[in-house]
Structure 1
């Protein structure tokens, strides 16, 4: 393979690592100043400006990612995807839309929901004659909560630029319909039936619908994502927990139940013996397999456990010791293992849900910055809104200034949604070992390719120097030959002149 072929191969490898940048590095008009040579075999190198800038960006990004903690995003994750402005579904000049997107309004709605749940409990306990509280107080309370929830749902409907979007919003469609149905039922119960002068029996039967308002408390799971994460984590842990429980605790209980039942039935006197004033104590505890399993469950949850153990020890030390072994196996080992499994699953599910919420927020930011709706961001679109929106997500202020160059790794001048989401997730998460190893690998490959470029440039420089020396030697020989010819010509001319003068003199 010739040097030129090796040079082309190195170029191709460099393009694979730095797509879109290798040709720019080779074709840059400043490339002539990147290498300066002295004497033959001595070379002074200067790192290319493009690569130096890229390495600087990587170092700054790595430093920021090291100092950025994912816990700092908790405040951003607590905000549900209700910002209609970021999704372009609200009129920027609408005061109602501003009110609906205000966190104080959302917190007020959450407080009203919790107070209404408390009020339903108070109403159930004290809404009767003779309770000491005037019945009109409960009527006034119902009207107040009715006005509050009606006002809240109207604000949410009027906040949309197109009112039909209230039912078509892909983020909140189900919640909107659910809340609207609850408000409609409340309005019917409080005001419509009152206006229609319905009888007491009808009002009494429809008052059961009041309990459905408690379902509104599920909005807390949406407005406080940590609670929703906990519920989803418990659901994710239910299947492995049920398997472990059935194969672990239930199997052990069944084996111990057989042993204890066999022991209790081994003596008729033991079955009818009175213990602590309870006749047939052991028959009640260990008379059958189901009774024994229930007793072992009582032991497992420490319900009057040691009274049972003492009575069993007094009758049969071996079976009493067996109960102690069961406590150590069941309560201390298996249950603690199950708790560890549940905690691990909950932790993993929580991290997954956090990433999901953060990804949704990043997609909303991308949609808001994509003014022309093309599905890509140009540098002008990015720079117009990047500072405020990326800092709200938690991106460092220093990184925001060069964020477009970092995200646009291909150098096309525009970024799509996938590039935007993936790079921002990397910016907001601490670097993993895999990221650092990949970065080290790429830097090592770039360093190797630069060394190859420098080596090949040095060889070419030596060849050019050799060619220049050869040209200088040829030029010197030509000048010497020409000087000798001129001197001989002048000598011949002089001799010819002298001969002519002599001939003329003789004449």
Structure 2
């Protein structure tokens, strides 16, 4: 008879197996395709087949969560991970038969969020998301500064260009939407040339705004995210026991001291 420790070890080997992880990722992608197929106008027969397929996918996810739970050495630690709680919630809610009820829309939304399970399965995606969340406080200050720049330029645009085009510069809110369009380079030259008919030097307004928003602040955002991502990778390497650069430098210094001491000529007293 197989002991509990042996079963736990086998389940642990299965859940950490790369082939099993790739298979789970494949099922998640297939689940996303099934969800997308439901948005088309398809014959009833195919629609019923998709519903049955969706239930098989849900049962597979339930089995996969069970395997991951049984493979955990300490079962209480399984729910200490936010990713495990998220995955379990998505699977459990998907099991509730609410297709023909008032909560059918909720059921469809939950199935859409099953695609996010790829983040919990693939460590690289998990690292990206964690880095992005950690960068949000710093990005908040950049966003605040961008809002100030937007507000100033929107006020100036409303004052000068409202007489040129009321639909684009009528008030400060519409002006901010127009500036967002300019920042994304969506036909911004048409907006500029329109105002240049009355204000020939209005190009300075657009060029300086684009430089501040699209170039300066965008590069700041990229720099913050890349810096936080690098720190997250360094932290993960330390948690995995991989030596840091400083530790390697200290070990190299100790080796140099040992070599220097061993190569030093000894005196007769020694």
The answer to whether residue 191 in structure 2 is matched with residue 308 in structure 1 is: yes
Rounded Cα–Cα distance in structure 2 between residues aligned with 1:151 and 1:253: 51
Rounded Cα–Cα distance in structure 1 between residues aligned with 2:70 and 2:222: 47
Secondary structure of the residue aligned to 2:102 is: helix
Other-structure match for 1:443: 256
Contact 1:90–1:160 under 8 Å retained in 2: no
Rounded Cα–Cα distance in structure 2 between residues aligned with 1:179 and 1:173: 10
Cα distance, 1:306 vs. partner? 0.5
Other-structure match for 2:210: 327
Q: Counterparts in 2 of 1:133-148, with a 5 A limit?
A: 133-134=44-45, 135-148=47-60
Larger Rg: 1
The answer to whether residue 168 in structure 2 is matched with residue 285 in structure 1 is: yes
Cα distance, 1:206 vs. partner? 4.5
Other-structure match for 1:294: 177
Other-structure match for 1:152: 64
Match of 2:266 among 437, 448, 454: 454
The answer to whether residue 103 in structure 2 is matched with residue 220 in structure 1 is: no
The answer to whether residue 154 in structure 2 is matched with residue 257 in structure 1 is: yes
Cα distance, 1:311 vs. partner? 1.2
Cα distance, 1:96 vs. partner? 5.5
Q: Counterparts in 2 of 1:4-15, with a 5 A limit?
A: none
Q: Counterparts in 2 of 1:158-173, with a 5 A limit?
A: 159=71, 165-166=74-75, 168-170=76-78
Other-structure match for 1:491: none
Rounded Cα–Cα distance in structure 1 between residues aligned with 2:210 and 2:92: 54
Other-structure match for 1:205: 102
Cα distance change of structure 1 residues 445 and 219 upon mapping to structure 2, 3 Å threshold: same
The answer to whether residue 155 in structure 2 is matched with residue 343 in structure 1 is: no
Other-structure match for 1:106: 21
Deviations 1:381-414 (A, max 9, x none): xxxxxxxxxxxxxxxxxxxxxxxxxxxxxxxxxx
Cα distance change of structure 1 residues 348 and 186 upon mapping to structure 2, 3 Å threshold: closer
Q: Counterparts in 2 of 1:415-430, with a 5 A limit?
A: 425-426=242-243
Cα distance, 1:283 vs. partner? 3.1
Cα distance, 1:229 vs. partner? 1.0
TM-score of the superposed pair, with normalisation by structure 1: 0.44
Rounded Cα–Cα distance in structure 2 between residues aligned with 1:185 and 1:96: 24
Rounded Cα–Cα distance in structure 2 between residues aligned with 1:344 and 1:160: 33
Q: Counterparts in 2 of 1:312-391, with a 5 A limit?
A: 312-356=195-239, 358-359=240-241
Rounded Cα–Cα distance in structure 2 between residues aligned with 1:180 and 1:287: 50
Cα distance change of structure 1 residues 300 and 442 upon mapping to structure 2, 3 Å threshold: same
Contact 1:150–1:183 under 8 Å retained in 2: yes
Provide the aligned C-alpha RMSD in A. Answer: 3.7
TM-score of the superposed pair, with normalisation by structure 2: 0.76
Cα distance change of structure 1 residues 444 and 335 upon mapping to structure 2, 3 Å threshold: same
Deviations 1:343-371 (A, max 9, x none): 23333333334443x24xxxxxxxxxxxx
Secondary structure of the residue aligned to 2:43 is: coil
Cα distance change of structure 1 residues 294 and 90 upon mapping to structure 2, 3 Å threshold: same
Contact 1:309–1:320 under 8 Å retained in 2: yes
Contact 2:15–2:71 under 8 Å retained in 1: yes
Cα distance change of structure 1 residues 170 and 439 upon mapping to structure 2, 3 Å threshold: same
Cα distance change of structure 1 residues 322 and 352 upon mapping to structure 2, 3 Å threshold: same
Cα distance, 1:221 vs. partner? 1.7
Q: Which structure carries more relative contact order (alpha carbon 8 Å, separation 6+)?
A: 1
Cα distance, 1:334 vs. partner? 3.3
Secondary structure of the residue aligned to 1:262 is: helix
Rounded Cα–Cα distance in structure 1 between residues aligned with 2:226 and 2:54: 42
Cα distance change of structure 1 residues 331 and 154 upon mapping to structure 2, 3 Å threshold: closer
Cα distance, 1:446 vs. partner? 7.2
Rounded Cα–Cα distance in structure 1 between residues aligned with 2:72 and 2:127: 28
Cα distance change of structure 1 residues 170 and 125 upon mapping to structure 2, 3 Å threshold: same
Rounded Cα–Cα distance in structure 2 between residues aligned with 1:90 and 1:103: 22
* Residues paired across the two proteins, number: 265
Q: Structure 1, unaligned stretches of length 5 or more?
A: 1-88, 194-201, 266-270, 272-280, 360-424, 462-507
Cα distance, 1:316 vs. partner? 1.0
Deviations 1:410-458 (A, max 9, x none): xxxxxxxxxxxxxxx22xx5xx36743663366347745985x933xx2
Cα distance change of structure 1 residues 144 and 93 upon mapping to structure 2, 3 Å threshold: closer
Q: Structure 2, unaligned stretches of length 5 or more?
A: none
